[in-house]
Structure 1
């Protein structure tokens, strides 16, 4: 499509302004071109945005939460290479999301990207599907993180009491509700408070991760397995007879950990210089998490003398048993306390992320009761109602914790929901949206098609993988309930679209004042 001279000039001015300016006026002008008025205080700096994107993945706590997956799916090989292999493909997804975020820095994020890149006439449908997938994944991830935090607390209680106190599922659920309530308070705070807290989150996250690497490798002493065993010893404890397939299930751990980095997009309306800071935060957060995660798992592999004993532990999380074996009771409780703190702050960061998604989706009138969830508190200038909606929905999801199989499936459901919402706009970018995107400061250039194609192919593969059960022969007690969770939301969203939403949902809508509502769409780039 050929652009007029005026369009070219407008586009040139826009890009130069974004690249040169980090002031609120520049950010708000770009947001207005995207169709929204500024409602937040832009108090996240570049460093705080990077800290937020990194902290939301809570590396040491996330690895501790999901160690059972690689242990069962390959043992030492599952830990080391079950983490390393997915990292390359996740980087492709993250790079594609970063490019889109740089071009369109708005809290609406992924569903907004889909709307703008979809073929003519399909914008509302693309936005609807992406939005519901993202909301589902966001809420499921809040619940999954906080329930695991509750399990970490029960693990500490069991170890501290020498096994005399083993809390029931009901008690664990009660701890979950208390954590969600505290996160509701934290996530309702003003943006300035949240931004400063993320520096603390990042420091304790990195510090605890490094401490875990050192103590697992050093304190295991002569009990360490050989280097050959640490990297090449394979054990299949999944119940699947095919070892290759069993190994693939180890990918659940890195995929669950390496989620939520789209958070930088969802807080972009609270970030100074968002078009530049948000993509940097996504890439740095993902890269740092991948490196630290791999080092933690290598250290854990060296310290693991018996995979089967860890899997047979009475403790809710095998990593707790590994620290107990390596450090003894006092040492385990010391580092475990810091890991609990990391998991708690990870849940808080995810709560902020999820609330911004809910707020943005409600701002475009896509949720039942949108008029409540899109309100901004006049005191904190944050979407407090959306925060508490997320916590309430996460509490309902937490009822799945009364079934171990259903709770484990929650991790898969969160990954499927989030990565589906990542893949949708990326797919549209490399198909119908090739000439629609005006790149921001960060762009993949001519590589956007091959990188995007790899990203979409990987998400398709991983979504299929995560629908499979952990064992070959399953019953109602140990089936993978991810398909039930995802299909329930999918069927509801589909039916509501067919029956009602297709008549009134128009995708992202402007909320600018009437005199500003005539602002045109950003011009398309020349093919």
Structure 2
């Protein structure tokens, strides 16, 4: 054998050894994850196909920054104009970061799809653990489903906006056809989200590329396309306009917070897919923090660009298009340019809805796994072919279709946004509140720990959620009608009445919070022994 052949053999052997070592290392990580899950009381039912990068991509994509800003531009426009756009986004970011940090610490300590309601059960006093888990779980399920519907509803609005612009205003679809588009989007998401975990993990890399690319294109397009028509720097940052109908300017400005609070939701998704993540105790908290910070930065830059490009707030608010951002792009880029970037924004919103549907289905699956939902035996089933909770996916889709009837109200977006934010942030705040009270000495920190900072950050987080929940039940204008009313309070109250009634009548007698689904104590011991 020649030296060249020998060298080639050496290279091949070394390469093979490295590949084998990598595969072995990954297998060990996944095995350690399964052992940790067994310690938390659950057997592993999913394939761990999400890597760190794919988990970060999932957490970032679920917030769909460019599409979310596009969907909610009307809130800051009405509640402060330029000041609402710039500072209505910036101020809530500091408080949301505190919540995200607390969420990351809890997820690192207890990486399970049960997520928030599991955290509440483990941190509450034993006597109240089932009730804390019940409240958190129902709040999270409500927020998750409302968020799926609100994302897909605005996706439908984006499509109707494109149709209106493409037809030069000759085709303006009413609430009925818009609802039909919403149903079609939801059904397609049901198909996509029923796929295997490996497929979903790879799709998220595509999601994040198109998300970031479209965001950059939107920022550049608004700044360059507005040319000399840009407003001055002073006006872009300081010009305040109150178009809410509320007499108090300070209160009017606070209502602009709806936009960032709706956008900066869903980052708990990293916790809910943690049973499908390799190295979940490290990857999931990193995904939460990176996803939130990246979204905050990109969102603020996009709103600043929109503020510079907005020559007249009143013109955008008086547009016949369903979404004012469509009018802003039309004014700035012209018809062809607007439709070009709008098509990508529609894709971003579509994939954001798909990611959120995956997240919601995992929450439903986990809650049903602990027998907390009517018909739990159906919703906790894992499809033997895809190894994903397909039944839970379609329950989310069906519930979102029902929520979609709010689309026949003029205040549909504010109602769905308010309901999703209130539901989700209540479920975020409950375990955080328990962490800084009864659970101070109960948490065994994971790789991501806040140390002594958990207490001040937790106090800020809980206080902010209490404030924002009150804020979001108010209507956008002082004088309302049945059509313009904020129905968020109706949705939240309906779920509250159902959950409270079922607890008092029945659930308090049988619901004990998270229930281990390990076959026996010996199976748990066997899993632990294999890791040693």
Q: TM-score, normalised by structure 1?
A: 0.94
* 2:109 corresponding residue in structure 1: 103
Cα distance in 1 for residues equivalent to 2:302 and 2:64? 13
Q: How many residues align?
A: 503
Is 1:373 aligned to 2:373, yes or no? no
Q: CA deviation at 1:22?
A: 6.2
Match of 1:349 among 355, 371, 378: 355
Q: Secondary structure at the match of 1:23?
A: helix
* 2:202 corresponding residue in structure 1: 196
Map 1:328-347 to 2 at 5 A.
Answer: 328-347=334-353
Q: CA deviation at 1:515?
A: 3.7
* 1:29 corresponding residue in structure 2: 35
Are the aligned partners of 1:35 and 1:519 in contact in 2 as well (CA < 8 Å)?
A: no
Q: 1:202 to 1:518 in 2, by over 3 A?
A: closer
Runs of 4+ in 1 over 6 A off after TM superposition: 19-22, 517-520
Match of 2:166 among 153, 160, 166: 160
Cα distance in 1 for residues equivalent to 2:79 and 2:438? 39
1:262-317 deviation digits (Å, cap 9, x = unpaired): 00000000000000000000000000000000000000000000001100000000
1:111-140 deviation digits (Å, cap 9, x = unpaired): 000000001211100000000000000000
Match of 2:76 among 66, 70, 74: 70
Q: CA deviation at 1:21?
A: 9.2
Q: CA deviation at 1:478?
A: 1.6
Q: TM-score, normalised by structure 2?
A: 0.93
Cα distance in 1 for residues equivalent to 2:280 and 2:315? 48
Q: CA deviation at 1:20?
A: 11
Cα distance in 2 for residues equivalent to 1:20 and 1:271? 11
Q: Which runs of 5+ in 2 are unaligned?
A: 1-24
Q: CA deviation at 1:472?
A: 1.5
Q: CA deviation at 1:72?
A: 0.3
Q: CA deviation at 1:211?
A: 0.4
Cα distance in 2 for residues equivalent to 1:456 and 1:420? 9
Map 1:77-476 to 2 at 5 A.
Answer: 77-476=83-482
Q: Which runs of 5+ in 1 are unaligned?
A: 1-18, 523-527
1:245-277 deviation digits (Å, cap 9, x = unpaired): 000000000000000000000000000000000
Cα distance in 2 for residues equivalent to 1:107 and 1:485? 25
Q: CA deviation at 1:513?
A: 1.3
Q: Secondary structure at the match of 1:432?
A: coil
Match of 1:56 among 47, 58, 62: 62
Are the aligned partners of 1:94 and 1:286 in contact in 2 as well (CA < 8 Å)?
A: yes
Are the aligned partners of 2:99 and 2:428 in contact in 1 as well (CA < 8 Å)?
A: yes
Cα distance in 1 for residues equivalent to 2:525 and 2:261? 40
Cα distance in 1 for residues equivalent to 2:208 and 2:62? 9
Cα distance in 2 for residues equivalent to 1:460 and 1:400? 25
Are the aligned partners of 1:22 and 1:273 in contact in 2 as well (CA < 8 Å)?
A: no
Cα distance in 1 for residues equivalent to 2:396 and 2:26? 36
Match of 1:477 among 472, 483, 494: 483
Q: CA deviation at 1:519?
A: 6.5
Q: Secondary structure at the match of 2:241?
A: strand
Between 510-519 and 206-215, report the one with greater CA deviation.
510-519
Larger Rg: 2
Are the aligned partners of 2:154 and 2:413 in contact in 1 as well (CA < 8 Å)?
A: no
Q: 1:151 to 1:406 in 2, by over 3 A?
A: closer
Are the aligned partners of 1:279 and 1:442 in contact in 2 as well (CA < 8 Å)?
A: yes
Cα distance in 1 for residues equivalent to 2:367 and 2:221? 44
Cα RMSD (Å) of the superposition?
1.4
Are the aligned partners of 2:144 and 2:360 in contact in 1 as well (CA < 8 Å)?
A: yes
Cα distance in 2 for residues equivalent to 1:332 and 1:469? 31
Q: 1:404 to 1:64 in 2, by over 3 A?
A: same
